[in-house]
């Protein structure tokens, strides 16, 4: 047997050790690759959408508001629609080519529709291709926020079959012609690049394949070292061994780095298309595709917003390559090279324009989802936000606060603050929320986080408590607005009216409409504080409420969103629907993970609430909110209540139309007096918003247990039907309940004397001037 020399033995051992080490090292790299590719490849942000705009015959919608929605969706107005993301207008007729979109559990294909809007109403709605009438069509919703992964990478996943053919062809021609034939590395290209770099004394040429670029982007750093290049080559070979070319191409299309927005990194062509052009990938023109492919070489260096000339040269180089490969004609290339970059002027921000509403959404999401899931699972969250109403609410709050400061001569401008929150009456869906007069700034959210005394907006709960006892109370029950002393431990309390006057005996409806404090306290004490607290909690107030007499005048601190819940229940006829901001949540595959269905609970007698609503309507026509007659469009009937706190620190208005319920607050963060009542401050914000949105008049339907009687308000008596032709006070009463004493018609005729009418006319003029 031939002996092996000692040195050969050492060499054999060392070789074996090296091979084993290399094998272990390669196996570690292999495990690193497979673990990433077999599991979840990317952490994807959650995307948060507004409500989809529903189109149907008879829908109240102005052409201006429809165009506002389309512009938020980044649609292009053209002469003739030819592809998704475009719309055209010809007189009253609007043609929209919608985009493909994944709604919960349903995929809606791109569809061209045609509609007509006349007198702010949709009168015609058909499929543009077939002419078939459509019952309902949903535009894709506006995405207004994202919840990003901790590493702040933003991407939209796309499959190769959904990518324009020209983009993939351009990418291969520019970056890796032999992608579908090599095994992940090209030794000749590496050698050629190394020689070129050596001659230049710096890196001037790369020899990486798309596979190597993908490996570098996902697994490695960008440092130029021999070890890093060796790892890159080995991992590229392993990646090609395990996965098909199409899988690698898909990963590359979604991984490649293409830009930066502050801390947000833009990855993948689909997100880059949104980032640079505010368009879906399928909507891009050839020149736009050439630019995206061109900036793969260096997203920062060829940033088209910061270095437009440099980016244009690079785009044109790509177009030249396409001509050389006969992918486009020289004539088309010349035309495209002379065209502008068409990059959107402003960078689409990753920061939400509606931070206050987003806070509400995130608060409700936390009940069901972990923060890490929201940051990584690529969830789609469909919310109740109405962008049209949200923008009107923001505009109204800012404009009205500025107008109030100008009108009152406030030298310290911009010191007033405010909040406004709006929901649908029937569904309890929050459609708009403004927490600051500068709404785009994230910070203190006054609609949700601020607690302030609510003043007289609490009074409907007191009067509802009374009206739920129809055997004792009705709208004409006499209350006493006379001096009152409430015994207290320590110093007794003597409530006062805002005008420092007493108004003697008067019917319940007028006591509420004119917001008389003394009459309200007398009524509340007769009813019992615990009964009023029970009513408040039944209406949706979850805060603990101390049983002090001052609560009857709103000496309880609540955030506006809690007041909104209370008034939503009243507006819905005593049926409480918990306020909600989320409709559904879906995963990456568009499977519905959770729906947030409507829940309704009857918490008050509908008859009593109907009577209360009548009194709140009176407040807006003859009471403390009667200035609404001059601030709202003609015919828009509403109900509501003003609220003012001690020393005029807080100004409130809460009320509802037929479709929407809203709460406005105006005050100062330092809690100093504003000099504003509910009617001179918050009411104006509320009215400007309601006047600017598509809503409906309040026309409540009387429950079955309601009877109607003509009434003499000044006398607190009901009248015979024969008197009805000469006056307008027709009031509801709960059947079987206590009825007021019947009166004669003579008193009513006196109330409508020339002197009475003249005085009412003078009062109306004074209201208007105020």
Catalytic residues: 175, 456
408 neighbors 416 (Cβ within 8 angstroms): no
User: 366: Cβ–Cβ under 8 A, 6 or more apart, which residues?
Assistant: none
675 neighbors 684 (Cβ within 8 angstroms): no
Q: Which helix (H) or strand (E) holds 138?
A: strand 137-138
List beta partners, residue 124: 116
SS (H, E, C) 677-732: CCCCCHHHHHHHHHHHCCCCCCCCCCCCCEEEEEEECCCCEEECHHHHHHCCCEEE
Give the whole-angstrom CA distance, residue 395 versus residue 387: 12
The counts of H helices and E strands in the chain are 24, 31
Count of CB atoms within 10 A of residue 588's CB? 14
Buried b or exposed e, range 246-277, using 16+ CB within 10 angstroms: eebbbbbbbbbbbbeeeebbbbbbbbbbbbbb
DSSP 8-class letter at 118: E
Exposed, middle or buried, 755 (CB in 10 Å: 0-12/13-18/19+)? exposed
Q: With the C-alpha atoms ordered 549, 552, 553, 559, is the resulting torsion angle positive or negative?
A: positive
* Secondary structure (3-state) at 664: strand
* Secondary structure (3-state) at 675: coil
Taking the CA of residue 541 as centre, how many other CA atoms within 13 Å lie in the half-sphere pointing to its CB?
A: 25
286-294 and 330-337 helices cross at what angle (nearest 10)?
70
DSSP-assigned letters across all residues of 418-478: EEEEEEETTT-BEEEEE-SSSTTS-S--TTTT--EE-GGGGHHHHHHHHHT-TTT--TT-E
* Secondary structure (3-state) at 19: helix
Give the whole-angstrom CA distance, residue 622 versus residue 367: 44
Q: Report CA dihedral (430, 436, 439, 440) to the nearest 10 degrees.
A: -120
Backbone angles phi, psi at 476, to 5 degrees: -105, 5
Give the whole-angstrom CA distance, residue 91 versus residue 63: 10
DSSP 8-class letter at 183: S
Give the whole-angstrom CA distance, residue 513 versus residue 622: 7
226-242 and 6-38 helices cross at what angle (nearest 10)?
60
For residue 735, what are its two tokens?
């059947």
């Amino acid at each position: 047997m031939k002996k092996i020399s000692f040195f050969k033995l050492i060499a054999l051992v060392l070789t074996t050790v090296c091979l084993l080490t290399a094998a272990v090292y390669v196996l570690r790299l292999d495990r690193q690759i497979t673990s990433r590719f077999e599991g979840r490849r990317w952490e994807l942000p959650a995307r948060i959408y507004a409500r989809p705009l529903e189109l149907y015959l008879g829908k109240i919608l102005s052409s201006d508001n429809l165009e506002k929605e389309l512009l938020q969706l980044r649609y292009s107005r053209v002469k003739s629609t030819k592809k998704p993301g475009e719309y055209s207008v010809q007189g009253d007729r609007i043609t929209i080519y919608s985009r493909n979109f994944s709604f919960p559990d349903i995929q809606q294909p791109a569809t061209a529709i045609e509609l007509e809007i006349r007198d702010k109403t949709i009168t015609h709605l058909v499929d543009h291709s077939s002419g078939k009438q459509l019952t309902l069509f949903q535009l894709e919703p506006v995405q207004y926020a994202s919840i990003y992964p901790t590493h702040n990478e933003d991407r939209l996943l796309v499959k190769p079959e959904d990518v324009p053919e020209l983009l993939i062809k351009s990418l291969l021609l520019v970056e890796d012609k032999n992608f579908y034939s090599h095994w992940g590395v090209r030794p000749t290209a590496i050698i050629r690049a190394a020689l070129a770099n050596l001659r230049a004394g710096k890196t001037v040429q790369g020899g990486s394949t798309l596979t190597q670029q993908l490996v570098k982007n996902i697994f490695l750093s960008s440092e130029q070292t021999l070890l890093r290049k060796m790892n890159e080559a080995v991992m590229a070979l392993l990646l090609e061994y395990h996965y098909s070319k199409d899988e690698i191409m898909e990963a590359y299309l979604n991984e490649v780095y293409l830009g930066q927005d502050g801390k947000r990194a833009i990855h993948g062509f689909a997100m880059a298309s949104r980032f640079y052009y505010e368009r879906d990938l399928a909507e891009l023109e050839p020149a736009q595709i050439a630019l995206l492919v061109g900036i793969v070489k260096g997203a920062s260096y060829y940033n088209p917003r910061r270095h437009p000339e440099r980016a244009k040269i690079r785009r044109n180089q790509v177009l030249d390559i396409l001509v050389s490969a006969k992918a486009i004609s020289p004539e088309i290339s010349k035309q495209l090279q002379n065209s502008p970059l068409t990059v959107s002027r402003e960078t689409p921000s990753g920061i939400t324009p509606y931070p206050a509403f987003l806070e509400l959404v995130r608060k409700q999401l936390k009940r069901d989802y972990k923060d890490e899931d929201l940051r990584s699972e690529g969830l789609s969250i469909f919310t109740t936000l109405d962008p049209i109403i949200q923008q009107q609410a923001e505009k109204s709050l800012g404009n009205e606060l500025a107008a109030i400061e100008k009108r009152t001569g406030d030298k310290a401008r911009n010191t007033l603050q405010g909040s406004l929150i709006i929901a649908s009456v029937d569904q309890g869906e929050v459609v708009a929320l403004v927490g600051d007069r500068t709404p785009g700034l994230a910070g203190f959210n006054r609609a949700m986080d601020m607690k302030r005394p609510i003043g007289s907006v609490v009074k409907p709960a007191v009067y509802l408590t009374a009206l739920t006892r129809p055997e004792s109370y009705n709208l004409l029950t006499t209350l006493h607005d006379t001096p009152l002393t409430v015994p207290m431990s320590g110093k007794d309390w003597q409530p006062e009216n805002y005008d420092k006057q007493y108004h003697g005996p008067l019917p319940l409806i007028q006591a509420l409409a004119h917001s008389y404090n003394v009459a309200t306290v007398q009524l509340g004490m007769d009813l019992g504080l615990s009964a009023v607290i029970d009513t408040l909690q039944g209406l949706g107030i979850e805060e603990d409420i101390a049983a002090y007499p001052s609560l009857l005048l709103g000496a309880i601190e609540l955030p506006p969103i809690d007041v909104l819940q209370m008034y939503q229940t009243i507006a819905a006829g005593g049926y409480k629907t918990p306020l909600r901001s989320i409709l559904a949540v879906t995963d990456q595959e568009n499977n519905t993970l959770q729906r947030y269905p409507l829940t309704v609970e009857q918490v008050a007698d509908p008859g009593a609430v109907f009577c209360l609503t009548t009194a709140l309507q009176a407040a807006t026509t003859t009471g403390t909110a009667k200035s609404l007659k001059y601030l709202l469009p003609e015919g828009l009937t509403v109900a509501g209540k003003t609220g003012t706190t001690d020393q005029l620190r807080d100004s409130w208005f809460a009320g509802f139309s037929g479709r929407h319920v809203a709460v406005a607050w105006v005050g100062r963060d330092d809690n100093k007096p504003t000099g504003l009542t509910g009617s001179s401050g918050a009411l104006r914000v509320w009215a400007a918003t309601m006047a600017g949105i598509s809503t409906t008049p309040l026309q409540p339907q009387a429950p079955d247990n309601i009877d109607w009687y003509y009434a003499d308000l000044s006398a607190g008596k009901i009248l015979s039907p024969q008197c009805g032709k000469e006056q307008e006070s027709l009031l509801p009463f709960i059947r079987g309940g206590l009825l007021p004493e019947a009166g004669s018609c003579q008193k009513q005729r006196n109330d409508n004397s020339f002197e009475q009418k003249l005085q009412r006319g003078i009062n109306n003029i004074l209201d208007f001037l105020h």
